């Protein structure tokens, strides 16, 4: 099945275009701004800026002898490739095609109709000559078509017709036509979007050998990084499930040709560009996804507060007053999905809360999958047995669709990495029967937000025939006789700390410290405070392979308790219960500026709930379960920045037993089907 990524825009655009296409069109001038260091061409058409990857053209044909006068060496012009199989015999359908292109794509505009190339992979049908008057009305100047067809047409006097000797087999869409060394080349075109919320480190695009090129320049009218997004038309005939999905990547995952920085300039300094993509990222590419750049993260995936970022400038959250936290560590991921409607997904990692919390504060969907669901090879580690990879999306159906295709058994982690049993991941409607409402984590902090949650709960109970059970999670653990959870505080403070420290120190911290000392006369690397002291004072007596192995053993025992006594499978349910809690701010603003949070009407984003033994965020890192952040509404607050009423998103977290991810996705899709859950908007408000 192909996912219809752009549906909603079609109707409105068609209405507008029916009238606009009928009138003669005046084209915006084609203006070259500059060439990039990687031989790309940056140009504008009207107020839109583009990059053409002229170094990696998608096709080339010999320049025809009688065209040399026009297409002299170095000449270039925007052009559109149109699949002639889609042009039926009437001129009217050509107009329809252009309207469809405009409605489905934010890259193509009528300014690309300066030249048109009719192509076909299956043999060209005859083209009705009324097409030419249509093109002339759209101010087209040049039409390229195969020689045998061109001969039969008395073309329109305003058009020059070019017979192609060569064979051009290209996806439809906008290209930059350039004349070079006796050939006409067709370079793919990217629209450059300004990263105005500063969520990205940089944009990147894929070259012909699968290596990524960073867009390392800024443009006169852009104050922030430019993110290149390809035309959606390029993937129209691509049957792969993620064809054309635009995906942003946390700069913790390897992308071929780019240095993985982990958010640290020091780490980037001592490392070479990645030789290949991380397997988790390669899978996205194999499924047809398009990677558009690397986004910002708290350095080395730490839980650093916004005000503790030193190496990079903290990203901005579009919600509310624009001064709210993006949380951490996948900060740029949640905020970019909340900010940009040209972006479809962002990939993040979650060790302690790093996808779930950024999703909560940005009002987007984000998941921590079951422990072991996705390979973390070629991803800078934090805790080898607590790291997970998740995805942000603004739409519940698209989120579920992505996850179900991305997570695949061949990329599950081995049991010796997780220290846990082999994963079983059924894709069924064996839904939970019980909603666990933990009184040590709920109600939501802001009483105005709680009715939104109450509505969801009553909706879930009637839709799935569930019953609500109020529990005290801390008391449940406290009274458990199993020694595996006898001291949950210690499981959190000692066991998880060892797991979350050892892998990163061994694979990142120690090598960085050694390399820096060797390069700079014994100096310690310049890094953010979150890791400076812990690495400087790292205690190998307390944290080493032996204590790590012992921590894995303790965690495994805790997971076994959880899955037999707390969230277990029954013949009817993958996970008998779904546990609700809030990883976000409970409907209060949490600001990027520290001092503004010292206010009863605001909150710090990562407080531990009073009376609970461990933070709600820690339940799944400890017990291996799946934990999804789901936006459910929004509430008002009075901003200490705009001095105006604003809205902050309200989210809830849904937790199920390890392995029940797809069942939870199916439940979320059913809630979306009845309109209880909805796609969020980009920008100031989620709803």
| Chain residues that interact with ligand NAG, rule: CB under 6 A | 46-47, 89-92, 121, 128, 130, 167, 169, 207, 209, 211, 213, 257, 414, 416, 439-440, 445, 458-459, 462-463, 472, 474-475, 478, 487, 489-490, 493-494, 539, 541-542, 586, 588, 600, 603, 607, 609-611, 674-676
What is the pairing mode between strands 246-250 and 345-350? parallel
The helix or strand, by DSSP H or E, that contains position 649, with its residue range, turns out to be strand 645-656
Distance of CA 487 to the CA centre of its chain: 38
Least CB distance from residue 311 to ligand NAG, whole Å? 26
Please say whether the beta carbons of 371 and 386 come within 8 A.
yes
- In the complex with ligand NAG, the residue whose CB is nearer, 89 or 553, is 89
Contacts of 518 (CB under 8 A, 6+ apart): none
Least CB distance from residue 132 to ligand NAG, whole Å? 11
Least CB distance from residue 113 to ligand NAG, whole Å? 15
Q: Closest Cα to residue 388, out of 590, 184, 204, 621?
A: 621
Least CB distance from residue 29 to ligand NAG, whole Å? 12
- In the complex with ligand NAG, the residue whose CB is nearer, 273 or 526, is 273
261 forms beta bridges with none
Least CB distance from residue 310 to ligand NAG, whole Å? 26
Please say whether the beta carbons of 356 and 330 come within 8 A.
no
The helix or strand, by DSSP H or E, that contains position 190, with its residue range, turns out to be strand 183-194
Q: Tell me how crowded residue 682 is: count the other CB atoms within 10 A of its CB.
A: 18
Least CB distance from residue 521 to ligand NAG, whole Å? 25
Three-class secondary structure of residue 78 per DSSP: strand
The helix or strand, by DSSP H or E, that contains position 647, with its residue range, turns out to be strand 645-656
Where does residue 465 rank: exposed (0-12), middle (13-18), buried (19+ CB within 10 A)? exposed
Rounded CA-CA distance 626/578 in Å is 10
Residue 535 backbone dihedrals phi, psi, to 5 degrees: -80, -35
- In the complex with ligand NAG, the residue whose CB is nearer, 169 or 645, is 169
- In the complex with ligand NAG, the residue whose CB is nearer, 4 or 483, is 483
Least CB distance from residue 284 to ligand NAG, whole Å? 19
Please say whether the beta carbons of 41 and 52 come within 8 A.
yes
Rounded CA-CA distance 251/354 in Å is 13
User: What is the Rg, in whole angstroms, of the alpha carbon atoms belonging to the chain?
Assistant: 27
Three-class secondary structure of residue 34 per DSSP: strand
- In the complex with ligand NAG, the residue whose CB is nearer, 225 or 438, is 438
- In the complex with ligand NAG, the residue whose CB is nearer, 311 or 593, is 593
- In the complex with ligand NAG, the residue whose CB is nearer, 245 or 562, is 562
- In the complex with ligand NAG, the residue whose CB is nearer, 519 or 674, is 674
Residue nearest to ligand NAG (CB): 490
- In the complex with ligand NAG, the residue whose CB is nearer, 37 or 218, is 37
What is the pairing mode between strands 577-581 and 434-438? parallel
What angle do helix axes 9-22 and 91-104 make, rounded to 10 degrees?
Answer: 130
Least CB distance from residue 414 to ligand NAG, whole Å? 5
Least CB distance from residue 586 to ligand NAG, whole Å? 5
- In the complex with ligand NAG, the residue whose CB is nearer, 100 or 554, is 554
Rounded CA-CA distance 667/430 in Å is 9
Least CB distance from residue 376 to ligand NAG, whole Å? 13
- In the complex with ligand NAG, the residue whose CB is nearer, 7 or 167, is 167
Q: Tell me how crowded residue 192 is: count the other CB atoms within 10 A of its CB.
A: 24
What is the pairing mode between strands 345-350 and 388-393? antiparallel
- In the complex with ligand NAG, the residue whose CB is nearer, 149 or 403, is 149
Rounded CA-CA distance 330/131 in Å is 50
Q: Closest Cα to residue 193, out of 337, 48, 9?
A: 48
- In the complex with ligand NAG, the residue whose CB is nearer, 77 or 124, is 124
Q: Tell me how crowded residue 38 is: count the other CB atoms within 10 A of its CB.
A: 17
Least CB distance from residue 1 to ligand NAG, whole Å? 26
- In the complex with ligand NAG, the residue whose CB is nearer, 299 or 501, is 501
Least CB distance from residue 614 to ligand NAG, whole Å? 12
How big is the CA angle at 520 (ends 516 and 525), to the nearest 5 degrees?
40
Least CB distance from residue 41 to ligand NAG, whole Å? 15
Q: Closest Cα to residue 189, out of 202, 173, 168, 178?
A: 173
Least CB distance from residue 224 to ligand NAG, whole Å? 15
């Amino acid at each position: 099945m192909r996912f219809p990524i752009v549906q909603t825009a079609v109707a409105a655009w068609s209405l507008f275009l029916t009238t606009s296409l009928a009138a003669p069109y005046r084209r915006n001038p084609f203006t070259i701004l500059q060439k990039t260091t990687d031989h790309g061409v940056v140009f504008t058409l009207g107020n839109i800026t583009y990059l053409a990857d002229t170094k990696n053209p998608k096709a080339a044909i010999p320049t025809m002898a009688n065209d040399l006068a026009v297409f002299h060496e170095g000449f270039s012009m925007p052009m559109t490739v149109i699949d002639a199989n889609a042009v039926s015999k009437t001129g009217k359908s050509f107009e329809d095609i252009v309207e469809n292109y405009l409605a489905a794509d934010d890259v193509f505009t009528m300014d690309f109709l300066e030249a048109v190339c009719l192509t076909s992979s299956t043999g060209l049908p005859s083209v009705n000559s009324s097409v030419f008057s249509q093109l002339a009305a759209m101010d087209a100047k040049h039409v390229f078509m195969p020689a045998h067809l061109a001969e039969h047409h008395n073309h329109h006097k305003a058009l020059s017709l070019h017979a192609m000797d060569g064979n051009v087999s290209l996806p439809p869409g906008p290209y930059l036509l350039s004349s070079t060394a006796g050939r006409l080349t067709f370079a793919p075109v990217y629209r450059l979007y300004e990263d105005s919320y500063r969520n990205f480190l940089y944009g990147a695009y894929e070259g012909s050998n699968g290596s990524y090129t960073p867009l390392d320049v800024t443009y006169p009218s852009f104050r922030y990084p430019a993110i290149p997004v390809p035309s959606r038309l390029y993937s129209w005939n691509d049957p792969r499930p993620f064809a054309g999905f635009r995906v942003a990547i946390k700069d913790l995952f390897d992308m071929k040709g780019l240095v993985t920085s982990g958010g640290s300039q020091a780490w980037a300094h001592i490392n070479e560009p990645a030789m290949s993509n991380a397997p988790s990222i390669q899978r996205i590419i194999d499924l047809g996804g398009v990677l558009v750049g690397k986004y910002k993260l708290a350095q080395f995936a730490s839980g650093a507060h916004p005000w503790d970022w030193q190496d990079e400038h903290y990203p901005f959250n579009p919600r509310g007053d624009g001064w709210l936290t993006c949380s951490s560590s996948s900060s740029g991921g949640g905020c970019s999905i909340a900010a940009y409607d040209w972006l479809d997904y962002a990939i993040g990692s979650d060790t302690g809360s790093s996808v779930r919390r950024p999703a909560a504060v940005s009002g987007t969907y984000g998941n921590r999958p079951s422990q072991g669901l996705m390979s973390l090879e070629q991803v800078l580690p934090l805790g080898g047995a607590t790291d997970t990879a998740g995805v942000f999306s603004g739409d519940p159906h698209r989120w579920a669709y992505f996850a179900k295709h991305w997570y695949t058994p061949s990329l599950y982690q081995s049991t010796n990495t997780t220290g846990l049993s082999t994963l079983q991941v059924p894709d069924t409607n064996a839904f939970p029967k019980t909603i666990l409402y933990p009184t040590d984590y709920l109600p939501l902090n802001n009483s105005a937000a709680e009715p939104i949650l109450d509505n969801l709960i009553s909706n879930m109970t009637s839709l799935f025939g569930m019953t609500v059970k109020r529990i005290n999670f801390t008391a449940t653990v406290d009274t458990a006789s199993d020694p595996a959870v006898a001291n949950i505080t210690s499981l959190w403070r000692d066991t998880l700390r060892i797991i979350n420290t050892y892998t990163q120190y061994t694979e990142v911290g120690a090598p960085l410290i050694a390399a820096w000392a060797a390069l700079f006369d014994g100096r310690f690397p310049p890094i953010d405070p979150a890791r400076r002291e812990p690495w400087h004072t790292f205690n190998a007596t307390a944290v080493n392979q032996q204590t790590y192995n012992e921590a894995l053993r303790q965690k495994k025992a805790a997971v076994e308790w959880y899955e037999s006594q707390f969230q277990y499978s029954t013949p009817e349910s993958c996970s008998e219960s779904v546990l609700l809690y809030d990883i976000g701010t409970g409907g209060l603003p949490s600001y990027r500026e520290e001092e503004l949070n010292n206010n009863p009407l605001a909150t710090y984003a990562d407080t531990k709930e009073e009376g609970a033994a461990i933070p709600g965020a820690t339940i799944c890192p400890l017990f291996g379960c799946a934990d999804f952040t789901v936006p459910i509404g929004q509430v008002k607050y009075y901003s200490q920045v705009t001095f105006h009423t604003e809205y902050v998103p309200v989210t809830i977290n849904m937790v199920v037993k390890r392995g029940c991810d797809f069942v939870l996705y199916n439940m979320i899709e059913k809630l979306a089907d009845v309109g209880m859950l909805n796609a969020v908007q980009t920008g100031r408000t989620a709803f």
